[in-house]
Amino acid sequence: MKKQNIISGIKQYRSQVDTNFHMPGHKGKNEFLGQLIEDISSYDLTETIGTDNLHYPAGFLKDAMDYISKVYGSKKSYMVVNGTSCGIISSIMACTKPGDKILVQRDCHKSVYNASILGDLELVYLYPEFNKKYGLNFSISLEKLDQQLSYKPEIKMVVLTYPTFYGICFDIKKAAEIVHKHGKILMIDEAHGSHLKFSEDLPLPAESSGADIVTQSIHKTLPCLSQGSLLHVCSERVKVDNIEAMLRMLQTSSPSYVLMASIENAVHWMESSGKERLKRNIEIFKERTLELRKIGINVLEENFLIGEGLYSFDATRAVISMSEIGITGTKLQDILRYKYRIQMEFADLQYTVGYITATDEPEDIHRLFDAVKEIYLKESKNKEKGEIIQIEPFPSLQHERKMRSAFYAENIFVKIDESIGRTAAGFIIPYPPGIPLVCPGEIIDQDTADYVKVMLENGINVNGVNENNLVRVVKWKEDL
C-alpha cells in the first residue's frame, strides 16, 4: 500500500505539538464536536428526499439557519461552506455592479481584493494608522473614513475588518453611523470575531452594532470544523435576493452536511456551554498578560493599547513581541514550537500571535505564558542579541492600471530585484494572515522589494513569490 501522504503528515505534526493556539477553534479536541465525531460517515449526506438543500432550504437546514440568526440577532443568517472568503466575495458582488467603487480598509483580507477582480470593481483605500514604536497597524481613523465618503460620494459600500488579525478594534457603532450618514452599506469582515457575541468582556459584536452585512469564520474561534462560516444580513439596506443569488453561484453545489452540522453544533455549544469557559479563559489571559508586562514583555493588553489611542482590544488574542531583545516574531514562534511543543497561529517580523478560545483548558494557557516568561528571562540575559527588525507600514504604491486588467494581462516571472519599477500581475501576500503587500496593477518599488526579501530571510511565507524567488509582473514589449 502506498503511503497516505496527508494522513502521515498530520500524524507527524500531532506527534510534535502538545498544545496549539491556532485555528480551528476546537483545538483538535473531539469532545467539542458533538455527535459528529461518533460516526462521521453517517452524517455525510447529499441532497435527497428528506435532507433539504442549502441553496433552497425548506427543512432542517432552514431551521438551523433560523436558529443561528436568532442567536446572533440578525435579519437573516446563512451557513457558508466555502469559507468566509466566499461569504466576503458574495456579499461585495451582491451589493455592487461592475465598475463601481468601494472603500476598503487597506489591511483587509485578500478575498476582498479577489472580489474586486471578479466584480471588476475599483478600490479606494483607507489606510490604518501605523504605530511605528510598536510596529503595529492600529485602527482606522473614523475622521478619515468620513472624509473619504465626503470626497467620493460615488462609493457604493464600505468594507472594514473587525477585529484585525491582531485583535485590534475601532468604535464600530460610530463607524456605522458615519457610513449610514452618507447612505452607504457597511460590510464587516468579522472572520476573527464570531466569539464576541458570547462575552460581555470583549468588544461589541458587529452584527448588533450597526453593520449591514457581517461575515464570520466560526471555525477560527468556535469549535467548528475548518471552512465553517456564517454570513449575517443585519439590515434592510441589503437585498437578500442578491446575496442568495451570489451564494448559489459561488458556493459548491455539493455542500458538506458534516460541515453544516458542525457549524450549528459550534453555535449551540457556545450558547449552552461555551460562555462560562470563555469568561474563565479571558480572566486567566488578562491576569497572565499583566504579569508578563510587569517584567517587561510586550504582550498586547487593552488598557495599554487604549493609553496609546486605541479604542478596544479582543482579549482572546495573544500577541507577543520580544523584538526589544532581538528576537523576531518568527524566532519566538520557532522556540515555542521546537523547544516547548507549542504551536502559535502565525508570526511576523516582530510578533507571534495565538488564539485563545473557549475550548482551551486553563493549563493550556498557563503553559504558553510560562514558556514565554522562561524564554524572556533566559534570552534577556544573552549579551549577543539579534538585530532588531522593524515592521513597516503598508506601502502606498502607484497604480499603473486597474487590478482586473493587470491580473489578466500577459505576464512573466522575474527575480524580485528585477521587478522594481514594473507592474505587478499577481499578489504578493505574507501568509498568514493573508493581507496583500502588493496588488495587481501596482508598481513595485525598491523599499517594497527589499521588505519582501527581509521577510523571506526571516522565514515568513510570502505567497506570490515562487520557489525560485520569482514574482509575476505584466509583460512589456521589450520582453518579447
Cα 290 to the chain's mean position, in Å?
Answer: 26
Pick from 2-16, 107-121, 192-206, 234-248: least confident: 2-16
**244 pLDDT higher than 70:** yes
Domain 403-479 CATH class label: alpha beta
| 202-233 per-position pLDDT tens digit | 999 999 999 999 999 999 999 999 999 999 99
pTM for the model stands at 0.95
- Give the Cα separation of 66 and 61 in Å (integer): 9
Domain 39-267 CATH class label: alpha beta
Q: Given this model, what pLDDT does residue 381 score?
A: 84
Long-range contacts of 281-287 (CB under 8 A, 24+ apart): 281/316, 281/356, 281/357, 281/358, 281/360, 281/362, 281/365, 282/199, 282/201, 282/202, 282/315, 282/316, 282/356, 283/201, 284/362, 284/365, 284/366, 285/315, 285/316, 285/318, 285/356, 285/365, 286/315
Q: Given this model, what pLDDT does residue 233 score?
A: 98
Q: Given this model, what pLDDT does residue 341 score?
A: 98
- Give the Cα separation of 108 and 283 in Å (integer): 29
**439 pLDDT higher than 70:** yes
- CA angle (369, 374, 378) in 5-degree steps: 150
- When pLDDT is averaged across residues 189-205 and rounded to a whole number, the result is 97
Q: Given this model, what pLDDT does residue 478 score?
A: 66
Q: Given this model, what pLDDT does residue 387 score?
A: 67
What confidence tier does 432 reach under pLDDT thresholds 50, 70, 90? confident
Domain ranges of the chain: 39-267, 275-379, 403-479
**385 pLDDT higher than 80:** no
- When pLDDT is averaged across residues 76-94 and rounded to a whole number, the result is 98
**4 pLDDT higher than 60:** yes
Homologous superfamily of domain range 275-379: Aspartate Aminotransferase, domain 1 (3.90.1150.10)
- When pLDDT is averaged across residues 459-475 and rounded to a whole number, the result is 93
| 251-300 per-position pLDDT tens digit | 999 999 999 999 999 999 999 999 999 999 999 999 999 999 999 999 99
